[in-house]
């Protein structure tokens, strides 16, 4: 481990609780607490089996999903090429989260104990790659609540409230009315902010509201909101050249 990484880890340790990294205990060199129930059935090796399964899923999704390929291309074109081994890790997390983005190490965490389906892994990778893209493109400051709110609005907008909600959250009703969609994005973004920061609902809501118009309108690098059961995912990948992602 390089000195730089060591330093970043130390910093994580100090600020972990405040910035939500206690949700990812393995970030701090610890291990997720295994409950007696897990131990009874699986012994201590389950974590390693989970990790291997998770890594296989990640590799499969990256190879097969047009959406993830689009994000990989977009990141590469923005000068932030993703090295799967270096930038994406499977770890055990607290059960309130499925994934995360750690800006200090520029790593996406896929929660191996929570992501047991390809569709969920795709959802996590896509969501966290939006954060990675924003961090790369805008030098996002994750400690700034408005910056965080903005990237969560974008992740909710581009994924969860349309296409991905059907896969990940089992929500089958289409959001046909514009303000219903906007409300979904706001609610989801507020929940995401609350999941990783110890702020009040009021603070989270104010941060989301204060940056909503410009962040909701920013559809890079997808260029369109993905609709459920549509060809949008493939079309967005085919049209990636129009957005300057030429790899
Ligand atoms: Zn997020």
> Which tens digit of pLDDT belongs to each residue from 102-161?
988 899 999 999 998 998 999 999 999 999 999 988 878 888 999 999 999 999 988 777
Percent above pLDDT 90 for the chain: 38
pLDDT in the model for residue 122: 92
Start-to-end Cα distance in the chain: 31
Selection from 173, 169, 149 nearest residue 159 by Cα:
169
Distance 4 CA to ligand 1 centre (A): 25
pLDDT at 69 > cutoff 80: yes
Instruction: Give distance in angstroms: CA of 44 to centre of ligand 1.
Output: 30
Q: Cα of 128 to ligand 1 centre, how many Å?
A: 6
Task: Look at residue 154 and give its three-state secondary structure.
Answer: helix
- 0.85 exceeded by the pTM? no
Interacting residues of 67 by C-beta distance below 8 A, sequence separation 6+? 122, 126, 226, 233, 236, 237
C-alpha to C-alpha distance for 134 and 128, rounded to whole angstroms: 10
Ligand 1 center from residue 153 Cα (angstroms) = 9
Give percent of the chain with pLDDT exceeding 70. Answer: 66
Q: How far is the CA of 235 from the centre of ligand 1 (A)?
A: 24
For the chain, domain boundaries:
3-243
Q: Where in the sequence numbering do the catalytic residues fall? A: 128
pLDDT digits (tens, 9 = 90+) for 162-208: 644 444 444 445 444 566 788 889 999 999 999 888 899 999 999 99
For residues 125 and 119, give the distance between their C-alpha atoms in angstroms, rounded to a whole number. Answer: 10
Treating both helix axes as pointing N-terminal to C-terminal, what angle do 46-64 and 118-138 enclose, rounded to 10 degrees? Answer: 70
Check if the beta carbon of residue 63 is closer than 8 Å to that of residue 33. Answer: no
CA 14 to chain centre: 23
pLDDT of 124 reads 94
For residue range 232-242, list pLDDT tens digits in order: 666 666 666 66
Residue 99 host element (H or E): strand 99-102
Q: Give residue 172's pLDDT.
A: 45
Tokens of 136: 């790369």
Q: What distance in angstroms lies between residue 100's CA and the mean position of ligand 1's atoms?
A: 7
Nearest CA among 75, 94, 82 for reference residue 25: 94
Q: How far is the CA of 241 from the centre of ligand 1 (A)?
A: 26
Whether 157 contacts 216, CB under 8 Å: yes
Top pLDDT among 144 and 4 is at 144
C-beta atoms surrounding 24 within 10 Å:
25
Q: How far is residue 66's CA from residue 71's CA, in Å, rounded to a whole number?
A: 9
What's the distance, CA 71 to chain centroid?
12
């Amino acid at each position: 481990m390089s000195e730089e990484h060591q330093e970043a880890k130390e910093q994580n340790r100090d600020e972990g609780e405040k910035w939500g990294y206690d949700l990812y205990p393995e970030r701090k060199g610890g291990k997720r607490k295994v409950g007696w129930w897990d131990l009874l059935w699986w012994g201590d090796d389950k974590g390693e089996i989970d990790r291997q399964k998770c890594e296989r899923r990640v590799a499969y999704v990256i190879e097969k999903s047009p959406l993830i390929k689009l994000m990989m291309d977009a990141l590469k074109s923005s000068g932030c090429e993703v090295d799967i081994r270096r930038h994406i890790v499977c770890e055990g997390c607290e059960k309130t989260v499925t994934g995360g983005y750690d800006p200090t190490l520029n790593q996406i965490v896929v929660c191996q104990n929570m992501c047991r389906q390809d569709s969920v892994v795709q959802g996590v990778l896509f969501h966290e790659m939006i954060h990675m893209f924003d961090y790369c493109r805008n030098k996002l400051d994750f400690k700034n609540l408005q910056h965080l709110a903005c990237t969560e609005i974008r992740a909710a907008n581009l994924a969860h409230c349309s296409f991905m909600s059907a896969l990940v959250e089992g929500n089958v009703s289409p959001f046909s009315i514009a303000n219903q969609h906007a409300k979904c994005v706001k609610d989801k973004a507020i929940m995401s902010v609350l999941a990783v920061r110890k702020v009040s609902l009021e603070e989270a809501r104010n941060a989301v509201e204060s940056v909503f118009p410009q962040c909701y309108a920013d559809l890079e690098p997808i260029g369109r909101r993905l609709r459920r059961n549509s060809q949008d995912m493939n079309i967005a990948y085919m049209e990636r050249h129009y957005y300057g992602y030429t790899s």
